[in-house]
Amino acid sequence: MPASNSPARDSLLDRARSAFSDRYGGAPSTVGRAPGRVELLGNHTDYNGGLVMAAAIDRGTVVVGRRREGRDASVFAANYGETDEFSIDAIDRPEAGTWARYTRGVCWAVSGWAGPLRSGFEAVVLGDVPLGAGLSSSASLQASFAWFLIAMGAVPDESPRVYSGESGDAPLMELAQTLRHSENEFVGVGSGLLDQFSSLFGRADHALALDCWRLAHERLPLGDPAPAIVVCDSKTSRRLADGMYDRRRAECERIVSAYCDRIPVEGGLLLSMISREWLEVEWKRLDPVGRKRARHVLSENDRVRRGIEALRSGDVAAFGRLMSASHASSRDDFENSSEALDRLIEAAESAPGFIGGKLSGAGWAGCTVNLVEADRADDFAEAVRARYAQDTGITAEIHICRAEAGASGWTMQ
Ligand code: GLA
């Protein structure tokens, strides 16, 4: 069994096992586990073919289960007390916005990638990633479920490669793309690769960098001692699928369509492939909104480039300053922050141990992510909580996290 450094992880697993024996009787044979993530730099750059940096965190999802005779699947979501039953040979879409869309979507996409699943199964899913907060509970659910299927031997052909990890990261990147395909085509959310990549590729005390166009990636140490990753939940929430995300995506596509006659690219032009010089030469092609969005995405790619350099040279303070600049660019040019998120960032900036902070994920609500000197994380949390409550009347929920290993799966004896 892979070692877990986290007592919270182990207790999640124990609770999932006991929910399994209550619901199905006996013991599960197999576990899949996957973390949520924070976005450290690269806000709304992923679907624009740009650069992102993230970290997997020690909040996640576990799936425990075992094979079943026949071709039926039963999945019990312990957080909701709900069961979903379906045939693995005819996977249709449940209602939008349900957890079952994600788990069925994984079966659908993995079957399309590696061939029909070998057997039916029964499984329990349990997670502790705060929902709707921008920490990608959904990618954590997808990745843990995929690893459960792989570790159980339900996935033909590709499974030994992925499971043993012997062939390195290439099959994992294929799995990340398969899970993104599931979210885009089955679940119906047009997100980029950031979330699935982060949940699968995480490493303890490391940041993850991804070039979403070339699919090159790197794991970079966050320092020694690594700073705490402090997630401040504004307790305001907005669903990714409820319109604003798609609107921003469409605005970015409009920018690209203003340039694609001048810059033909096989496979389609993406915003990150347009240089700043080019944009500025042809600036008049864009309306004021387009100019702001373009300025954000291109300057954000630049900040990620500098962020990678900063971590390569061990300069976490410089990395922190880039995070704060990223927040300002999201707020002013991409316009996906909110009053609550801005207040949380202001509270963080004056709190002890602050290194840098920004909104995390889609934006408009949810969480900020802050790097904080590890031994001052508790003081930091207390100061932010007090100041945010004073400014807004809302009690923020604060999670002191560390960067964790990515998804894994194993069988239990
Ligand atoms: C959400 C999406 C990601 C990414 C971020 C913004 O978290 O799921 O793919 O686009 O928003 O950077």
Residue 244 lies inside a defined structural domain of this protein: yes
Same domain, 286 and 352: yes
Residue bearing the CA closest to ligand 1, atom 11: 362
What atom of ligand 1 comes closest to residue 194's alpha carbon?
A: 9
Residue 120 has pLDDT above 90, yes or no: yes
How many A from CA of 15 to the centre of ligand 1?
30
How many A from CA of 357 to the centre of ligand 1?
17
Instruction: Please give the average per-residue pLDDT across 73-81, as a whole number.
Output: 97
How many A from CA of 390 to the centre of ligand 1?
30
Catalytic site includes residue 246: no
Residue 1 lies inside a defined structural domain of this protein: no
Residue 333 lies inside a defined structural domain of this protein: yes
What atom of ligand 1 comes closest to residue 46's alpha carbon?
A: 10
pLDDT band at 282; cut points 50, 70, 90: confident
What atom of ligand 1 comes closest to residue 43's alpha carbon?
A: 12
Query: How many other CB atoms sit within 10 Å of the CB of residue 243?
Result: 11
Look at residue 242 in the predicted model and tell me its pLDDT.
67
pLDDT tens-digit profile of 338-365?
999 999 999 999 999 999 999 999 999 9
Residue 42 lies inside a defined structural domain of this protein: yes
Same domain, 315 and 376: yes
Residue bearing the CA closest to ligand 1, atom 2: 191
How many A from CA of 150 to the centre of ligand 1?
26
Instruction: Please give the average per-residue pLDDT across 220-225, as a whole number.
Output: 95
What atom of ligand 1 comes closest to residue 52's alpha carbon?
A: 12
Same domain, 165 and 272: no
Best residue among 135, 141, 191, 368 to mutate for probing ligand 1's pocket (most ligand atoms within 8 Å of CB) is 191
Best residue among 37, 38, 39, 131 to mutate for probing ligand 1's pocket (most ligand atoms within 8 Å of CB) is 39
How many A from CA of 27 to the centre of ligand 1?
37
Which residues neighbour 340 within 8 Å (Cβ) at sequence distance 6 or greater?
Answer: 234, 235, 236, 365, 392, 394
Total-model pTM: 0.93
Residue 1 has pLDDT above 50, yes or no: no
- How far is it, in rounded angstroms, from Cα 119 to Cα 73? 9
Average pLDDT, the chain: 92
Express as a percent the part of the chain with pLDDT over 90.
81
Same domain, 149 and 275: no
Look at residue 97 in the predicted model and tell me its pLDDT.
87
Query: How many other CB atoms sit within 10 Å of the CB of residue 213?
Result: 15
Same domain, 298 and 208: no
| Least confident interval from 55-59, 216-220, 281-285, 332-336 | 281-285
Report the helix count and the strand count for the chain, using DSSP H and E: 12, 12
Same domain, 269 and 302: yes
- How far is it, in rounded angstroms, from Cα 55 to Cα 362? 16
What atom of ligand 1 comes closest to residue 191's alpha carbon?
A: 9
CATH number of the domain where residue 366 is located: 3.30.70.890
Per the structure, the complete domain to which residue 102 belongs is given by 7-221+404-411
Contact 388, 347 (CB under 8 A): yes
Residue bearing the CA closest to ligand 1, atom 8: 191
How many A from CA of 195 to the centre of ligand 1?
7
Task: Compare 142 and 278 and report the one with higher pLDDT.
Answer: 142
Bridge partners (DSSP) of residue 369 are 231, 358
Bridge partners (DSSP) of residue 61 are 34, 127
CATH number of the domain where residue 11 is located: 3.30.230.10
Best residue among 51, 102, 194, 252 to mutate for probing ligand 1's pocket (most ligand atoms within 8 Å of CB) is 194
pLDDT tens-digit profile of 160-176?
455 545 556 878 999 99
Q: What angle do CA 21, 56, 60 make, to 5 degrees?
A: 20
How many A from CA of 42 to the centre of ligand 1?
9
43, 52, 57, 59: which is closest to 341 by C-alpha?
43
Residue bearing the CA closest to ligand 1, atom 7: 361
Same domain, 137 and 270: no
Number of domains in the chain: 2
pLDDT tens-digit profile of 223-239?
999 999 999 999 987 65
What atom of ligand 1 comes closest to residue 183's alpha carbon?
A: 8
Distances (CA, A) of 266 to 253, 263, 273: 16, 10, 12
- How far is it, in rounded angstroms, from Cα 129 to Cα 134? 10
For ligand 1, residues with CB inside 6 Å are 39, 43-44, 46-47, 191-192, 194-195, 361-362
Residue 291 has pLDDT above 50, yes or no: yes
Same domain, 281 and 382: yes
How many A from CA of 377 to the centre of ligand 1?
26
pLDDT tens-digit profile of 298-341?
999 999 999 999 999 999 999 999 999 999 999 999 999 999 99
Look at residue 315 in the predicted model and tell me its pLDDT.
97
Contact 357, 370 (CB under 8 A): yes
Instruction: Please give the average per-residue pLDDT across 145-169, as a whole number.
Output: 74
Residue bearing the CA closest to ligand 1, atom 9: 192
Residue 2 lies inside a defined structural domain of this protein: no
Best residue among 44, 181, 358 to mutate for probing ligand 1's pocket (most ligand atoms within 8 Å of CB) is 44
Look at residue 3 in the predicted model and tell me its pLDDT.
43
Bridge partners (DSSP) of residue 123 are 65, 75
Residue 268 lies inside a defined structural domain of this protein: yes
pLDDT tens-digit profile of 377-394?
999 999 999 999 999 999
Residue 248 lies inside a defined structural domain of this protein: yes
Same domain, 25 and 49: yes
Same domain, 161 and 306: no
Look at residue 160 in the predicted model and tell me its pLDDT.
47
Same domain, 143 and 237: no
How many A from CA of 190 to the centre of ligand 1?
9
Terminal CA-CA length for the chain: 9
At residue 168, φ and ψ (nearest 5 deg) are: 75, -150
Residue 11 lies inside a defined structural domain of this protein: yes
375, 355, 360, 344: which is closest to 129 by C-alpha?
360
What atom of ligand 1 comes closest to residue 192's alpha carbon?
A: 9
Same domain, 78 and 106: yes
Catalytic residue, chosen from 128, 195, 211, 233, is: 195
Look at residue 132 in the predicted model and tell me its pLDDT.
76
